[in-house]
Amino acid sequence: MAVLTDAEIQQALGKLSGWQRNGKAIQRVFEFPDFKQAMVFVNKIADAAEQADHHPDIDIRYNKVTMALISHDSGGVTGRDVRMAEKINQIAG
């Protein structure tokens, strides 16, 4: 799948609330009242990732969860990453 250009990524981020670039990836930090609720969110994302066969990098720091997306096989951000970021935002509500 084709890596998006910087302009295309900027355009996509304009519609992706909370997401930012971090190096070659895009990422968003989600914050919850506690660890338990953070894990509920992580498990919902894990199910969606399995369904899409596209897995974010997930960092859990007690009540803060960072989701990062990059298409490693393409070496950058692709349409798959943007679609998964949209899905994650839907789940976060």
Given the rule CB under 8 A, which residues bind a copy of itself?
A: 35-36, 39, 42-43, 46, 49-50, 55, 57-62
Q: Is 58 helix (H, G, I), strand (E, B) or coil?
A: strand
Our CB check for a copy of itself shows the closer of 6 and 50 to be 50
Least separation in angstroms between residue 57's CB and a copy of itself is 6
43 Cβ contact list (under 8 Å, min separation 6): none
Q: Please report how close the Cβ of residue 43 comes to a copy of itself at its closest, in angstroms.
A: 7
User: Closest separation between CB of residue 42 and a copy of itself, Å?
Assistant: 8
Pick the closest to residue 28 from 80, 64, 2, 73 (CA basis).
Answer: 64
Backbone angles phi, psi at 24, to 5 degrees: -85, -5
